[in-house]
Amino acid sequence: MLLHDERVQLVEYCRRMQADALTVGTSGNLSIRSGDHIAITPSGAAYEHLTPESICVIDLDGNSLEDGLEPSSEVPMHTSVYKSTDARAVVHTHPLYASTLSAVVDELPAVHYMVALLGGPVRVAPYATFGSPELAENSIKAMEGRFGAILQNHGATTYGDSIAKAYTRSVYLEWVCQMYYQAKLLGQPNILPDDEIARVAEKLTTYGQTVPDKS
């Protein structure tokens, strides 16, 4: 089986994405790149029924490398991210607050310093039909200098050098979207300046520890 370990990881993160309410039904999709191959979730398949064998494998041009289920409809977006960045994993979600804000704002401002994890204020990519080359192109433009983008009237996409980092960025993006939404209900939020976000981004490069596994 091609990319066995990557398939196992995708099944695990699909379960997490569902548990964390980052998507609804069968929407959303995830992928991991290994060399010139990409493991990607299948199109329209229930996450609770996924197994490593259900995960699709494609090349960088979107061609299926094995028989089985059809890969995600967002293959153009995933392959475009891999061709345009040093990404090793892509997470596309349909979370409530990011999707809500996508319909009314052009950018998620630095209302919290954790936007630094995304590279700064998060842009909203102009709307295009799901799965289309236009959506892929709009997403790449919105992600320039960033690790993610909000997709107008749609959802959000993040990437990273591992599925763990890409997923963490999705979680924080949705959290900051929720914070911004709630802050706007109370008044005009304070927005952090670019130089502060740059300082935080630098600090985040050395933040965090690994807890030893004593099992």
Q: Residues near 187 by Cβ (< 8 Å), separated by ≥ 6?
A: none
Q: Is 74 a catalytic residue?
A: yes
Using alpha carbons, list the distances in angstroms from residue 123 to 27, 56, 119. 21, 30, 11
Using alpha carbons, list the distances in angstroms from residue 186 to 1, 109, 189. 53, 16, 8
Could you tell me how far CA 90 lies from the centroid of its own chain?
A: 5
**Active-site residue, selected from the candidate residues 74, 107, 134, 174:** 74
Active site residues: 74
